[in-house]
Amino acid sequence: MTQKIIVLDRDGVINEDSDDFIKSPDEWIPVEGSIEAIKRLKKAGWIVAVATNQSGIKRGYYSRQTLSSMHQKFIDLLDGETIDWISYAPYLSEDDSPARKPATGMLQSIEQRFNCDLNGVPMVGDTLADIQVALAKSMQPYLVKTGKGERTLATGDSRLKEIPVYENLHAVVEALLA
């Protein structure tokens, strides 16, 4: 495959995160620089896929329709650029779903959709689950300090030792496009 692809987590990477969940389009606020970073990737010809755990659906905090409205707000902010794929897992950790990160189901769906292998492909996240799933698929994980990133770093987890850490998605994209 000659076209470059990147996989992004959503909450904490693209938009601000909350321990109380992002439950409406009004609460969906982009992280500073994230929309511009995605626009730059798209203008440079990259495929941009999103893989996001959304247990708030199963918890009853918001509906699939509300999630769709949040994603429409996101797409509208891209001013004509597009997100190529959004996968979400509405499950709880205890559901043991193969779709929910750190399981690889969402990444497998991205591979199937784009007929590609994600080996070596960049994945940007802010949680240990994001890092774990990227490593499970032999991707190149990047940790951002936004969202739960600082908390993730504070765990001192040994898997983080070799993972590049950036301030935010904008900084990751600047490095990738340099």
Query: Residue written as tokens 């399981």?
Result: 103
Can you tell me the mean pLDDT for 70-92? Answer: 97
Judge whether 139 and 122 are in contact, CB under 8 Å. Answer: yes
What is residue 131's predicted lDDT score, i.e. its pLDDT? 98
Tokens encoding 158: 């040994």
What is residue 58's predicted lDDT score, i.e. its pLDDT? 97
State whether residue 73 is helix, strand or coil: helix
What is residue 2's predicted lDDT score, i.e. its pLDDT? 62
pLDDT tens profile 158-167: 999 999 999 9
What is residue 3's predicted lDDT score, i.e. its pLDDT? 80
Residues catalogued as catalytic? 9, 11
What is the CATH number assigned to the segment(s) 5-177? 3.40.50.1000
Judge whether 38 and 77 are in contact, CB under 8 Å. Answer: no
Tokens encoding 154: 């504070």
Can you tell me the mean pLDDT for 40-60? Answer: 98
- Please tell me what DSSP assigns to residue 156: T
What is residue 1's predicted lDDT score, i.e. its pLDDT? 46
Q: Does residue 85 have a pLDDT over 50?
A: yes
Q: How many CA atoms lie within 13 A of 84 on its CB side?
A: 21
Domain boundaries, the chain: 5-177
What is residue 154's predicted lDDT score, i.e. its pLDDT? 98
> What pTM value is reported for the model?
0.97
Judge whether 12 and 21 are in contact, CB under 8 Å. Answer: no
Q: Which residues contact 68 (CB under 8 A, 6 or more apart)?
A: none
Amino acid, res. 79: D
